[in-house]
Every structure is written in structure tokens, then in C-alpha cells.
A = this chain, B = another copy of it.
């Protein structure tokens, strides 16, 4: 028995994104896909058993950062700062899926909702400035949280 390579839904996404399919990338993307809200580094680390005392580390802290960076770079994950200044990561499902519309972020539950509105056009920039990304963030409370 050599142990069949596990086929998880994330494996295919990673392969399709054109990067190596590794244990750690699969693990992390699996966690992001299963999560109901964007996860910060610490949450991912403890969920993956990164800091267990006694048992072996499953993933290195730095590797987790680099895996997250790579997932963001190839479009499989999104990164955003939360109001406390920490990065939170979420799976984007199919790459570029969320490029053409505005998102609403619930400040209560942390949920992200897709709106139908198109992102506004970028403004004119001073000389020498180079535009990399525009983000139109709409925040408030979602219907479910507002009902409580």
C-alpha cells in the first residue's frame, strides 16, 4: 500500500491554476473552502494543528504565510484586512469569479456577499502614480444579522 493521493476538490483547482499541487496547499485551500467566513492566520494555524504541543507540527507558520500568498497570487484566495488590522483569507472558488462586482461585508458575522453593482471606474491619478487595484468595499450588517 503506497497510499493513494487523496483527490480533494481543491486539488483540481490548484492544478488548474497552474501551480504545483502540494500537501500544504491542498490542506490550506481545503480549510478555506470549508470555512464559513474569512480566516486569519492564527485561526488557520490552530485549525490545521500548526501549534500543537506534544504532537508534530503539521504545517510551519512561515509556510502557511507563503501558501496563502501563493493562493492569493494565483487567484484561488482573497486577502483583506479586518477592522483590527489583521489579514483574513477566503477561497474565491473559481478564479476571477469575484472580479466584476461589488462586495458587501457584514461587520457582525464577517460574511461577504456579492452585489449586482459594477465596481466604479478608477479615478485619475497624479503623475508617476501606478494603479494596481481598486476596491469598493461596502460595509454594514447583513439581513440575517440585522434581524437579530
By a beta-carbon cutoff of 8 Å, the part of chain A in contact with chain B is: 81-87, 102, 104, 107, 113, 115-117, 120, 122-144, 146-147
- Contact check, B139 vs A132: say whether CB atoms are below 8 A apart: yes
Can you name 17 A-B pairs with beta carbons within 8 Å?
A81-B84, A102-B123, A104-B129, A115-B125, A116-B123, A117-B123, A125-B140, A127-B143, A128-B142, A129-B143, A130-B141, A130-B146, A131-B138, A133-B137, A134-B137, A134-B138, A136-B136
Q: Which B residues are CB-close (under 8 A) to A120?
A: 120, 136
With both beta carbons as reference points, the residue of chain B lying nearest to A115 in the complex is identified as B123
With A86-B85, A87-B85, A132-B107 known as contacts, the answer to whether A126 contacts B138 (CB < 8 A) is no
Q: How far is the CB of A139 from chain B (nearest CB, A)?
A: 5
Task: Report Cα–Cα, A3/B108, bound state, in Å.
Answer: 45
